[in-house]
Amino acid sequence: MKKLRMLWMILKRTHAEKILFTFIINLFVVALLIQIAEPAIHTYRDSLWYCYVSIATIGFGDIVAVTFFGRLLTVYLSLHAILVIALIPGVIVSYYMEVVTRREKETVTVFLDKLEHLPELSQEELRQIAEKVKKLK
């Protein structure tokens, strides 16, 4: 649960949740349009199933689009899904790498600040610095 909250926080900070919500809304709208356009798809549930199979690129073949408009919607939804599936993990990894880099810079800055004020440090602080240097080797 904690990891899901962190994921949601990253999505909100990077505004990627808007992309995700747009995709979800698009999915339901396209499912409705496919239900209307395709003669073989009689229920909204079947239309959602078809959209899921198309997005996941599974392609069971139990339901297929036969009209031009249905196929066009399928291509549109598939391309949109590919972009979202590529974009969201990229945003998350980029944000995470930025946080890690920022933490490393802060740690190095604090360490260098302590080195600049070496004569003013206590014996315990000097011992801690010596241990950090030994770990770096």
pLDDT tens digits along 24-54? 999 999 999 999 999 999 999 999 999 999 9
How much is the pLDDT for 116?
78
Residue 132 pLDDT > 80: no
Distances in Å between the alpha carbon of 13 and those of 24, 92, 126?
19, 10, 39
pLDDT at 105: 79
Residues recorded for the chain: 137
Q: Is the pLDDT of residue 60 over 80?
A: yes
Check residue 119 and report its DSSP letter. G
Average pLDDT rounded to a whole number, residues 17-23: 90
Write the CATH number of the domain with boundaries 2-136.
Answer: 1.10.287.70
pLDDT of residue 104: 80
Find the mean pLDDT for residues 72-89.
92
Q: What's the average model confidence in pLDDT over 58-78?
A: 92
pTM: 0.68
Q: Contact at 8 Å (CB) between 80 and 26?
A: yes
More confident residue, 71 or 123: 71
Residue 93: the pLDDT is: 84
Report which of 38, 16, 37, 137 is spatially closest to residue 83, judged by C-alpha positions: 16
The residues, any chain, with a CB within 8 Å of residue 32's CB and separated by 6 or more, are 44, 47
B/e letters for 111-120, b = 16+ CB within 10 Å, e = fewer, are eeebeeeeee
Residue ranges of domains in the chain = 2-136
Q: Which pLDDT score, from 0 to 100, does residue 137 have?
A: 64
